[in-house]
Structure 1
Amino acid sequence: MKKLSQLSLGSLDASIAIPKYDRSAVRPGIVHFGLGNFHRVHQAVYVDRCLHRPGNEGWGICGVELLDNPGTQAKAEAYRGQDCLYSVTEYAPDGSASTRVIGAMVEYLHAPVDPEAVLARLTNPGTRIVSLTITEGGYNLDETTGVFKLDTPDVAHDLSGGPLRTAFGYIVEALRRRRGEGIAPFTVMSCDNLRHNGDTARKAIVSFARGKDAALADWIDANVDFPNSMVDRIAPQVPPAARDRLNQRSGIDDAVPALGETFIQWVLEDDFRAGRPPFGEVGVELRNDVPAFEFMKGRMLNASHILLAMPGIMLGHRIVHEALGDTRLYRLLETFLDRDAIPRIEGPKGVSLEAYKKAVLERFSNPAINDQLLRIAFDTTAKIPVFHSRTIEMLVEDGGDIRREAFFLACFGAYLKGKDDKGESFEVVEPRLTENDWTLLRGGNPIDLLRTSPFEKLGLADHAAFAKAYGGYVASIQATSVGQTLEALLAETA
């Protein structure tokens, strides 16, 4: 295998797509916080496409790592040893695959080692976009009030004037310097998988700034753009065995290869006073109806993902495509989408919900992705209210068929016990359940799941028909199994 570097690009196998632009001429115009797998197979891929178009040399990416531990230090060494190059292998549902080398990142900074280098790059007039994939929970907003938390340790540290630790601290300090030096502000572009991600980024950054300087906060709010976007691509983790498999396939000795499905989508508000790459020419959908795409994705793809995970885990499955290969679970998802979700969604203009449904089921069936059900199940109490609550509310309001949603919540209650139908144990990670919630759950009344803090606002415990259906499925699961209960549900709703 050939060690990946700028010098070795020309000697890679002819089947490997490589950057055809002059990387030596590319300058960072985007600074990115959160250089995880999703960014590497999503935003960076789009930027790489842009760089292949003449005249866009000013839109390279500078990646910034905020954490300081042996893993991030090793990652920094790996990127630098490979001239910031890495490979992306894309697998189609039919098993076919292709590999390309991404050259969009031309600089990598490890913030704990040299924070001033990060601030210098952020303050540089050539930096016109700062992008974020810091995870849905990384915006530091209180789950109940939605208020930015000024007292969390790293935020409080940054506000006190210590060496910066957070993306908020770096962004606000850089904007303060740019304002003082008469340099126009950059755009802050969230690429995280959450609704209204631009609005969320604005709230977090302006709130942090207000904790330091109210006038600066007002200036940021008035002068910095925070476009909303909807992002979508499955990007699994790449453990050592997967890394070796990818490298054997490509013939490239890549310390940090990435893996993704062939499907990729980015719907983005065109709100960039500071300029942007030609995203619209490389597949990004520049639209002003991003919320419509968010609702469609959330109530179809994300809702189906977690709907598959709960009974799937209980039936003994651990991999997404294996679970969807269970005809019972495939029928559950298809029926949910056809009867419960799609009739209650107004899709984006020009988008077929039926075609989107087929794409969702096809993507979940992709065996190469090897996505873990337990990864999807992580923090389910945060996902159900976001991705299922509106469908449940509408079913209740219009007298729709509540049975599939009631069964789903009954499966979640069974899942919380950490043992599947086959007696196999698994780890349950639900950080949002409080001690009071767990006390309720241990009380023996199954309806109390609907009274726990993540679900109490839905009022389902007091809705007689839903509570009765839910209680019936709980009793059936306890008396028989999730599998038999699902088979009975499918038979009665055929």
Structure 2
Amino acid sequence: MTRLSAATLGQVPSSVQTPAYDRSRVTVGIVHLGIGAFHRAHMAAYVDDGLADDLSWGICGVSLRSATTKTALAPQDGLYALGVQSSDGLSPRVLGAVTELLVAPDEPETLDQRLADSNVRIVSLTVTEKGYCHDPATGRLNADHPDIQHDLNTDGFPKSAIGWLAYGLLTRKAAGVAPFTILSCDNLPSNGATLKQVLADFVALKAPAHTAWFEAEVACPSSMVDRIVPATSDEDRDAIHQATGLDDAWPVMTEPFSQFVVEDRFPLGRPNWEKHSVTMAADVEPFERMKLRMLNGSHSTLAYLGYLAGDETVADTMGDPAFKALIGTMMSDEIMPTLSMPDAIDLLAYRDALLERFSNTSLKHRTWQIAMDGSQKLPQRLLGTISDRLASGKPFDRLALGVAGWMRYALGTDEQGQPIDVRDPMADAFKQIDTGSADDRVRQFLALEPIFGTTLPANSLFVETVCAKLHQLQTLGARATIKANA
């Protein structure tokens, strides 16, 4: 079979959109750390749109650990298909914005050169919450993280994303090259400010003489990203082959909806993104909070409870009217009142759009996939909303059920007594949770300060409410508990 590549791109049917620019003339202006499926379905698509206007914004995609992405895409010259799935069917598109692929542990010298290149004006990243090597409860660097310890104590190349960013910035400073702008595209509250704080902590330990320069000169704008991108299956690869006539080792599949809100702070310039549906804003925080709480908080709640109920995908979970009612009411009654949005934003319409997106049966978004790394996600997706509800004296029962669902999931055994493959940086700590009553288990989870901090565990109403919800899950099971709380 013929594989997608620069040489075979002309064989793609005219019904499939292909790059509308001369790829041979594209130069790298963006280095992206964490070249995973989400970036390739989201930011890379916006960059691809903009290359028709300015060819200097090509992407060098960097994997910080695994060579899997490069192995799949390098033989394809960085080309890959983006499959947009809706109830009307599949609409594929071939993207060409990724012009170079690197694996940091295997090619550190090349990555060093790229970061030092004055043509590189933006370094963006999607490394998930755990890639920031920080304490989610405080937003500060976890200096005891093994990768951070390595990076602080070596004169050689770093391992972590934080280490590489600092390394690149300090290299440019030594060479008299202006610092690149760092754009976080991860689901973190105030992701730009959080990243800058973590980096400032790192620089203060690694190169304290440069802290004032870093604070004054390095821009870390915030962003809000929104697009559902499930894991690619062999069935997806077959569908892309049928549509394009070519083999693609790693296409990415997504939904029609896509949103990108970016704080407009780029000292060295940026693509003309506003021309291509990106919202360039003075303040991203309201949009970010809306998305983290309404989409991500609801998504995580669906994932934990849906998995426990035996549902493989989010759409399966939303097929149960009780689940759909629970999530809809949680958004309208418990989450939306905590948000303050510009007048033009209709939160009820946003809620309805989310319910429709979650119900998209063409997206096989697995509950197990969304449930990963819950310890890193819980503070911003659910706990912050609960804190606001407590401060206003308002109920938070459905949000508490989401927290209890995570605890029940993190215990590592499903309702049939089968083991759950819990993927989480704190999985070893979860294994130390002793068996016992729901109250005992809740209190042991709440003692995990990196997740819960100290304020919520000291609030008796929060503790009692979560205990009651976990007790329901342990005695009734997830599906019956959902019906009781919808």
Note whether the superposition's TM-score is higher than 0.5: yes
Q: Against the structure 1 CA distance between its residues 127 and 439, is the aligned structure 2 distance closer, same or farther, given a 3 Å change threshold?
A: closer
Q: 1:167 Cα shift?
A: 3.4
Counterpart among 347, 354, 364 of residue 348 in structure 2: 354
Q: Against the structure 1 CA distance between its residues 66 and 337, is the aligned structure 2 distance closer, same or farther, given a 3 Å change threshold?
A: closer
Counterpart among 459, 480, 485 of residue 484 in structure 1: 480
**Who is 2:244 aligned against?**
250
Q: C-alpha distance in 2, partners of 1:399/1:247?
A: 55
Q: C-alpha distance in 1, partners of 2:124/2:398?
A: 39
Q: Against the structure 1 CA distance between its residues 218 and 476, is the aligned structure 2 distance closer, same or farther, given a 3 Å change threshold?
A: closer
**Who is 1:452 aligned against?**
447
Which runs of no fewer than 5 residues in structure 1 stay unpaired?
Answer: none
Return 445-454 or 99-108, whichever deviates more: 445-454
Which runs of no fewer than 5 residues in structure 2 stay unpaired?
Answer: none
**Who is 2:61 aligned against?**
63
**Who is 1:366 aligned against?**
360
Q: Conserved in 2, the CA contact under 8 Å of 1:4 and 1:82?
A: yes
**Who is 2:460 aligned against?**
463
Counterpart among 249, 273, 281 of residue 275 in structure 2: 281
Return 262-271 or 184-193, whichever deviates more: 184-193
Q: C-alpha distance in 1, partners of 2:161/2:8?
A: 34
CA RMSD of superposed structures (Å): 2.7
Q: 1:414 Cα shift?
A: 3.8
**Who is 2:309 aligned against?**
315
Q: Does 1:141 align with 2:134?
A: yes
Q: C-alpha distance in 1, partners of 2:62/2:472?
A: 51
- Aligned pairs for 1:349-428 within 5 A: 349-421=343-415, 425-428=419-422
**Who is 1:24 aligned against?**
24
Q: Aligned letter for 2:479? A: G
Q: 1:115 Cα shift?
A: 2.4
DSSP 3-state at the match of 1:137: helix
Q: Against the structure 1 CA distance between its residues 18 and 417, is the aligned structure 2 distance closer, same or farther, given a 3 Å change threshold?
A: same
Q: C-alpha distance in 1, partners of 2:73/2:172?
A: 29
Q: Against the structure 1 CA distance between its residues 80 and 445, is the aligned structure 2 distance closer, same or farther, given a 3 Å change threshold?
A: closer
**Who is 1:201 aligned against?**
195
**Who is 1:38 aligned against?**
38
Q: C-alpha distance in 1, partners of 2:27/2:335?
A: 45
Q: Against the structure 1 CA distance between its residues 226 and 480, is the aligned structure 2 distance closer, same or farther, given a 3 Å change threshold?
A: closer
Q: 1:425 Cα shift?
A: 4.7
Q: C-alpha distance in 1, partners of 2:78/2:263?
A: 29
Q: Conserved in 2, the CA contact under 8 Å of 1:129 and 1:187?
A: yes
* Cα-to-partner distance string for 1:394-451 (whole Å, 9 max, x where unaligned): 444444344323444444444344444556553334543775x766652425265054
Q: C-alpha distance in 1, partners of 2:310/2:298?
A: 18
Q: C-alpha distance in 1, partners of 2:471/2:207?
A: 57
Q: Against the structure 1 CA distance between its residues 17 and 334, is the aligned structure 2 distance closer, same or farther, given a 3 Å change threshold?
A: same
* Cα-to-partner distance string for 1:133-185 (whole Å, 9 max, x where unaligned): 12211111234554324454433434421234333444333333333333222
Q: C-alpha distance in 2, partners of 1:456/1:221?
A: 27
Q: Does 1:96 align with 2:89?
A: yes
Q: Conserved in 1, the CA contact under 8 Å of 2:129 and 2:377?
A: no
The TM-score, its normalising length taken from structure 1, stands at: 0.88
Q: C-alpha distance in 1, partners of 2:28/2:281?
A: 26
Structure number with greater Rg is: 1
Q: Conserved in 2, the CA contact under 8 Å of 1:448 and 1:461?
A: no
* Cα-to-partner distance string for 1:88-126 (whole Å, 9 max, x where unaligned): 11112x142211111111222333343222222222221
Q: Conserved in 2, the CA contact under 8 Å of 1:90 and 1:259?
A: yes
Q: May I ask how many residue pairs the two structures share in their alignment? A: 481
- Aligned pairs for 1:200-239 within 5 A: 200-239=194-233
Q: Against the structure 1 CA distance between its residues 304 and 117, is the aligned structure 2 distance closer, same or farther, given a 3 Å change threshold?
A: same
